[in-house]
Structure 1
């Protein structure tokens, strides 16, 4: 009967390789359903193989779970079989994970860890690492970040006992990931970053080339850390390293494809029976050389024992092309699909480049990331009519990865379009975001506050300040992220300042006052530079010019040193130039405004250009330079006409009212009921369950008034890039 089982196993392998999953499962289930009894060991191996195929290729999780539970019962009767028992535990854990049953998943993984504690040698260590990795992930899903860190530390200790530096790097990187998700102590996060660097350096140089996926994972986390603390200067080198690594991987794929094409040609030639003996000998020699080269090139895709990713069976022939593996087997799993990593690196490059005004490169990277994301969603069957309820179990997680990437990419597109006063394009991208959210509300629930914030930015940019303030406050209510709440409240304050009446100024003070008092408690300087800008504008409104000058100068220095955000620098300079004019320091005002205008032109930032030109007009009036005043006023009018046309085009679109107009009545009826209690704002560590990729959107300005009296009253404004 053993020969029969082996024959059916082989036939199942053939069917799986050809993509006929149903036939493969039938071959294997014939063993389980046979009237003639097979040895328990054979039945266990068969059921594990069925479960693996079902998990890899189908949505039949419960079917796979049933086979695994039956395998467990059979394994209880067999005293040894350590490998099979561990594999059953691991696969069953994955089933529980897929159906969202976290308590039984943690229970089965703890049983696995108890089993590995009885086993000496490398096999026990690797399976212990497997279970620790899965348990750490389950604990994160359960919200137990401290438990996850402790579990990863246990796994790191196991890997260090085996002197397995690549595996130690997996755990070090995972710990950094959890620390970034649950940022509690700056020193803990910094230590986790340094630990990653230390472990990576311990990996022998010759082995690092086979750990591209692990290296990219680490580099991405390093970049997120640096962006979070606003260290854009050092983040740049990590973006460059990731681009270089992806380029190397692409060249690697091309080389392998070339070798395979040549090998296929040789195999075709060798199939000819009339081939001359000498020529056949030469071709055979070349065939052996190519096969050896391919073994070297595809080393990371060799079939391992599957300790760390038992479900990674699939099509090993194409794994080198389709996967960005962490390292050689048994590390031949992946953090994210290769396409997702490409899109994520594009996104990080945009987040880094956008504040610097590198819009041409950012647009190229955005388009690259969007194309990749749309292609992968289409492969998953997600078309324009598919909704969340239509997704299969096995596609939910991967669909969520690409949907979140899509929203982040579109967010940056909206920000760039608003900065360049391309309101119609920003409106279209925003409408796409809202449409995706309506179709996938559970997967994208974390994006609701971001969408509200972006609608607020759009409303502010086209002069709808009351609507903008409402959306910003709504966005703050929809998130528990204290940093994001603070930024939305700052944006709302700027919108209230732009309205211009006493009541609105009072509302602005209520919003920014609590944040101003605790601005040094935030990570990085993003919130501090934002609140200093808003506070400076408010002080100008209240005619406290010297106080405003001090605060704005402090904010400008921080922005220039840490953020490198040239739009916010331009806006700071514009306000300071207006202040200098109000204080009759015309020489300083002229120099400051020249620098500000240069930056605004670099960004194609039309509203800020108009704002600066209006101040120049007032400056020329005070200096009595009539000719310059007339020329400047004419240029200003042209810019204003251009901007008004852009706003008119946006407002004529049906999407305009659909995005902000529908909220007007709601604003009137619910404003009192849903007033935001600023006294509850307590900036602290973010309790989010995903990486906080910080947006670099800043402050927004309205169409400026041409009246010099309004200039000194600070009718100023703006945010974006």
Structure 2
């Protein structure tokens, strides 16, 4: 074995080829990735060498060492095949390794190959039954681990749990995914406590060593301090396997571009499987991001804010280690830093995207504006590494414009975003967002444009994995039917969408919006009792989310309800409250509009970065693929947006007027 242990798609040694896929690249769509020509030329040679290694292991007998080498070579072959986009071949190589590990009765190695196989299935997703089978096998293996063994395989725990989260998000099983998020969050907190305890022990060791260095120290005191030092070093070794001199008992594997100090690693398992899936900082940031993803739809914005701040701080520290400051650009990066920079930059963009979403939900438009401008600036500095973020930024520009009431501009940016992505799911969602913006414009041409966007998505909605697209298109279609005065049909669509949202998605904002639309329909259909109950529930949710536009939408419907019932006291009280909310919203919009960034963001000009030279593009993409998709439910990346984004609030839809028109 090499000094760095088992080489895999998740670890590498100093003398092994640099990895060519990152966490976000590893979770890509089904199409093969186009690697640079230099990489393509290197892969056949690498595979030839590895196949020769496999031939040698066949002549070495069935000993433990020979089988371990067999597993090692198969893991490296799988990695090489992934680079070529040969998912089937990669899975075959990993299955060979898994069978060998099973014959060795080596549980940790079995788990390593099982998670790697699940990883590749999530990348390809050609057959749901195969993915489900890979998930079940991982569950069975992990459950066979004793608690002690599980503690020794912290890296495998994070790897397995995060893959489960990606899988469950894709199939929209948010309730089950939440359990795995809680598990990795608890594991992270436990490891942080352990790390802090190690720091305290080291600090105490330093203090004892300083005392022992005193020349006037008496024999009895020196003996007592020496005994204390021995006990402290034993404690340190029990935690880390490292002595106070800082030398590790076994040289660990590491991957990436900077050799990290001990304690910065989350080893998959004890040697020789002591590589890592991602650096500890990246995994901890990913855990924080997962918590944000699950907290935001529930309106837990305080927790979201803490985790976003924590994640961004972690990433900024890691970027500084790579020499990336406020002025460094993509072309300035050292080749060895490109891959790891891509990992952290992608994570950073995910945190900023969530910050924009939270701020827009809470009508903190200036804060959202600043985060969106920061995303744009990062993209302009690293356009190749962050190419996948172009459509996301364009979509967020649409959300910002929509939240500011600029619906024509919002529709433009959503349509442009749909042209920029290759993801079937993201394209569908962007088209739905554009349709909602057109509905808000409220004229015949815009309604026709909305129908042109909704129709194609609605016709294939059952072809998507999960129900995210279905809940969103049912909401948009229901609103369009309301515009067309087809209230009964709209009610059926909205009721169906609400049930799916409640059962599978759990987004309070989308539930609130569904309830508001259904409350308006009940009002239009003269069902005052149901309208009152539904609208009050919607207002409660909108208040919890600090969602001012939705509150105004609900309040306008309640005013119409009180007018219909002749409840003048409630009507006046409600109108006064609505007036205060409208003034608050107008003040917030006015503050954001004063910024010069406002017009840059809503302007009908799509985001485009300065094009690098062909040589620079090859240099950057040699360390990182350009074809990255971060949308977990569709392509299993790093993050999923909530089913209904923050800005789709339809705050200016006068559903009270619609109801009166029917009367």
**Shorter-chain TM band:** 0.7 to 0.9
Shift of 1:391: 0.6
The higher-RCO structure (CA 8 Å, 6+ apart) is 2
Shift of 1:255: 2.5
Matched, 1:542 2:465: no
Matched, 1:703 2:651: yes
Matched, 1:105 2:46: yes
Query: Contact 1:303/1:329 (CA < 8 Å) preserved in 2?
Result: no
Query: Contact 1:299/1:328 (CA < 8 Å) preserved in 2?
Result: no
Residue 476 of structure 1: aligned partner: 418
Once the two structures are overlaid, the 10-residue window that deviates more, 97-106 or 616-625, is: 97-106
Query: Contact 2:155/2:269 (CA < 8 Å) preserved in 1?
Result: yes
In 2, Cα distance between the equivalents of 1:450 and 1:430? Answer: 10
Q: Highest Rg: 1 or 2?
A: 1
Matched, 1:114 2:62: no
Matched, 1:262 2:185: no
Shift of 1:164: 1.3
Among candidates 388, 408, 422, match of residue 466 of structure 1 = 408
In 2, Cα distance between the equivalents of 1:644 and 1:418? Answer: 14
Residue 496 of structure 1: aligned partner: 438
C-alpha distance after superposition, 1:499-523 (max 9, x if no partner): 1112211221121112212222211
Among candidates 160, 183, 197, match of residue 218 of structure 1 = 160
Shift of 1:618: 1.2
Secondary structure at 2:513 match in 1: helix
How has the CA–CA distance of structure 1 residues 313 and 440 changed in structure 2, closer, same or farther, with 3 Å as cutoff? closer
How has the CA–CA distance of structure 1 residues 188 and 692 changed in structure 2, closer, same or farther, with 3 Å as cutoff? farther
In 2, Cα distance between the equivalents of 1:128 and 1:513? Answer: 53
- The aligned runs of 1:338-357 (5 Å cut-off) are 338-357=280-299
Secondary structure at 2:278 match in 1: coil
Residue 120 of structure 2: aligned partner: 178
Among candidates 515, 529, 535, match of residue 471 of structure 2 = 529
Matched, 1:94 2:8: no
Secondary structure at 2:152 match in 1: coil
Matched, 1:228 2:170: yes
- The aligned runs of 1:516-595 (5 Å cut-off) are 516-595=458-537
In 2, Cα distance between the equivalents of 1:509 and 1:633? Answer: 34
Unpaired runs of 5+ residues, structure 1, are 1-47, 53-82, 84-88, 667-684, 715-721
Residue 374 of structure 2: aligned partner: 432
In 1, Cα distance between the equivalents of 2:463 and 2:653? Answer: 36
Residue 242 of structure 1: aligned partner: 184
C-alpha distance after superposition, 1:599-633 (max 9, x if no partner): 10111101111111111111111112222222222
C-alpha distance after superposition, 1:56-98 (max 9, x if no partner): xxxxxxxxxxxxxxxxxxxxxxxxxxx9xxxxx9765415869
- The aligned runs of 1:668-687 (5 Å cut-off) are none
Residue 580 of structure 2: aligned partner: 638
Query: Contact 1:580/1:589 (CA < 8 Å) preserved in 2?
Result: yes
Shift of 1:490: 1.0
- The aligned runs of 1:318-329 (5 Å cut-off) are 318-319=261-262, 321-329=263-271
In 2, Cα distance between the equivalents of 1:555 and 1:285? Answer: 69
Query: Contact 1:304/1:330 (CA < 8 Å) preserved in 2?
Result: no
C-alpha distance after superposition, 1:189-245 (max 9, x if no partner): 222111111111223332221211211111111112222222222222212211211
Shift of 1:110: 2.6
The size of the alignment, in residue pairs, is 609
Residue 70 of structure 1: aligned partner: none
Among candidates 507, 512, 526, match of residue 449 of structure 2 = 507
TM-score, length-scaled by structure 2:
0.86
How has the CA–CA distance of structure 1 residues 110 and 585 changed in structure 2, closer, same or farther, with 3 Å as cutoff? same
Query: Contact 1:128/1:155 (CA < 8 Å) preserved in 2?
Result: yes
How has the CA–CA distance of structure 1 residues 484 and 444 changed in structure 2, closer, same or farther, with 3 Å as cutoff? same
Once the two structures are overlaid, the 10-residue window that deviates more, 367-376 or 119-128, is: 119-128
Shift of 1:584: 0.8
Query: Contact 2:118/2:163 (CA < 8 Å) preserved in 1?
Result: yes
How has the CA–CA distance of structure 1 residues 266 and 136 changed in structure 2, closer, same or farther, with 3 Å as cutoff? same
Shift of 1:494: 0.9
Secondary structure at 2:327 match in 1: coil
Unpaired runs of 5+ residues, structure 2, are 7-11, 22-37, 609-630
Once the two structures are overlaid, the 10-residue window that deviates more, 451-460 or 181-190, is: 181-190
In 1, Cα distance between the equivalents of 2:130 and 2:333? Answer: 39
In 2, Cα distance between the equivalents of 1:523 and 1:315? Answer: 40
Shift of 1:470: 1.7
C-alpha distance after superposition, 1:127-168 (max 9, x if no partner): 332222232223222222222211211121222222111111
- The aligned runs of 1:66-465 (5 Å cut-off) are 93-94=16-17, 100=39, 101-120=42-61, 121-272=63-214, 275-299=217-241, 303-304=249-250, 309=253, 318-319=261-262, 321-465=263-407
